[in-house]
């Protein structure tokens, strides 16, 4: 096999550990000098390829690449950009292939969620038809934990840990004040169609009656009367009520409670504002004093309290992506396979992208209690290993010390490109 360069890019919403996957890719690629030339990273995801803004990772210090393992955000920049079909925009694909050919890129490693898997699959299929075959490998990443064929997704374990800790700490605050002040606290977390993050908040409870008392899942239709009844019961029984609500909670007719009417590049609804909506509902009906918070970017940026399991898996999947590419694989995703709960063991095996792209894995009904407001022991057994271990970054002057890359671009060889 002739030596070819490798293109790596980050896509979609970032996670606390996506850069660990990047480190896994870059460090592993150096072990294959006969097959892989340089690792060129796309500046701002797939746009880096289209605009020919390719970062030469060999210009970064080894210490900086190692530091990516403990750095949040997307070190190379991410994007939300959907490649349309070949029939809709052939020019876009011709541009990609032109850039890849100009820079001798034979490996395309795309680090993202479900939409990124679709992009990766399209590149693998269309590049061959255009006469310049590209080996396209998808590296899983999503805090939503909704990719199929993998036990879990890098990024989720750390977010689950952050949400569970935040729920426990906030509950202790509310419990200490509820006799004369706040009765209800609502934490809104991410999760468009799947309630994995909201479900993980239940790990905060160690004894019966502990918070969270109510979890709202996208998989369970929201019933206003049943919800308010449960809130009142919790306040009566415990003195307060802690609620964790997934942003994707919806009514029986499928209407999202927090749909703001806007859409992103992939056509997804812009969500947010569920917590204050629920708070007003409780105030107007039950009259309780409340507080609410929206975890939003905080949950997916919280590298300071990342799960060691999550970090290890993110790095391992970046490493595996390079290994399967060098072995000749194409249009696959290295996936995590759980082999044991006690003790927790896992392995990695490639799965076909055709079975990953444009599909979602929701919380199974057996993971949610019969009343729809909590999780079952099966769910707890699934969640607990994923938040295990603390992977603290190094601190300097009381704050985490994170890596910033130089991002030196390689010289351009193609005509300029303007985004349509």
The Cα-based distances of 18 to 13, 196, 248 in angstroms read: 10, 18, 23
Pairing of strands 269-271, 184-189: unpaired
Contacts 24+ apart (CB under 8 A), 369-372: 371/230, 372/217, 372/220
- Report d(CA 329, CA 407) in Å as an integer: 29
Pair of tokens at residue 375: 């999780």
The yes-or-no answer on residue 210 being catalytic is no
Sole residue written with tokens 């001798």: 104
- Of the candidates 115, 144, 146, 312, the residue annotated as catalytic is 144
Report how far apart, in Å, the C-alpha atoms of 262 and of each of 13, 268, 360, 383 are. Answer: 17, 8, 21, 32
Residue 384 DSSP label: G
Q: Cis omega (within 30 of 0) on the bond before 212?
A: yes
Q: How many CB atoms lie within 10 A of CB 87?
A: 6
Q: Where are the beta strands (DSSP E) in 231-320?
A: 241-246, 259-263, 269-271, 290-294
Asked if 214 contacts 234 with a C-beta cutoff of 8 angstroms, the reply is: yes
Cα Rg for the chain, rounded, in angstroms?
22
Whether residue 393 contacts residue 403, with contact meaning beta carbons closer than 8 Å, is answered with no
The structure tokens listed for 187 are 């934490």
Q: How many CB atoms lie within 10 A of CB 349?
A: 14
Sorted by sequence, the CB contacts under 8 Å of residue 365 that are 6+ apart come out as 219
Residues 36 and 5: beta-carbon distance below 8 Å: yes
Catalogue the active-site residues. Answer: 144
């Amino acid at each position: 096999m002739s030596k070819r360069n490798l293109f790596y890019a980050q896509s979609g919403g970032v996670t606390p550990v996506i850069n660990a996957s990047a480190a896994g890719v870059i460090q592993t690629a150096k072990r294959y000098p006969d097959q892989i030339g340089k690792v060129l990273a796309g500046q701002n995801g797939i746009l880096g390829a289209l605009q020919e803004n390719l970062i030469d990772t060999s210009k970064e210090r080894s210490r900086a690449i190692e530091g990516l393992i403990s750095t949040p955000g997307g070190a190379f920049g991410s994007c939300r950009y959907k490649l349309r079909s070949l029939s809709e925009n052939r020019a876009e694909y011709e541009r990609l292939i032109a850039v890849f050919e100009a820079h001798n890129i034979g490996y395309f490693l795309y680090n993202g969620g479900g939409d990124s898997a679709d992009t990766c699959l399209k590149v693998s299929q269309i590049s061959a038809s255009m006469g310049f075959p590209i080996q396209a490998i998808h590296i899983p990443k999503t805090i939503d934990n909704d990719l199929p064929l993998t036990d879990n997704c890098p990024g989720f374990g750390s977010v689950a840990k952050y949400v569970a800790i935040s729920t426990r700490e906030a509950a202790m605050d509310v419990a200490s004040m509820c006799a004369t002040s706040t009765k209800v606290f609502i934490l809104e977390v991410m999760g468009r169609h799947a309630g994995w993050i909201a479900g993980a908040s239940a790990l905060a409870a160690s004894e019966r009656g502990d918070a969270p008392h109510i979890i709202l899942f996208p998989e369970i239709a929201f019933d206003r009367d049943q919800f308010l009844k449960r809130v009142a019961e919790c306040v009566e029984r415990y003195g307060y009520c802690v609620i964790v609500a997934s942003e994707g909670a919806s009514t029986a007719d499928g209407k999202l409670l927090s749909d703001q009417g806007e859409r992103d590049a992939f056509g997804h609804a812009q969500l947010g504002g569920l917590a204050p909506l629920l708070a007003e509902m409780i105030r107007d009906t039950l009259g309780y004093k409340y507080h609410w918070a929206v975890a939003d970017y905080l949950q997916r940026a919280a590298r300071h309290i990342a799960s060691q399991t999550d970090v290890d898996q993110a790095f391992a999947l970046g490493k595996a992506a390079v290994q399967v590419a060098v072995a000749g694989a194409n249009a696959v995703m290295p996936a995590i396979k759980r082999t044991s709960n006690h003790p927790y063991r896992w392995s990695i095996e490639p799965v076909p992208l055709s079975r990953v792209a444009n599909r979602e894995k929701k919380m199974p009904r057996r993971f949610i209690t019969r009343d729809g407001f909590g999780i079952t022991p099966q769910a707890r057994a699934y969640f607990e290993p994923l938040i295990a271990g603390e992977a603290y970054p190094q601190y300097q002057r009381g704050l985490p010390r994170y890596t910033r890359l130089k991002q030196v671009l390689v010289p351009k060889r193609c005509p300029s490109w303007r985004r349509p």
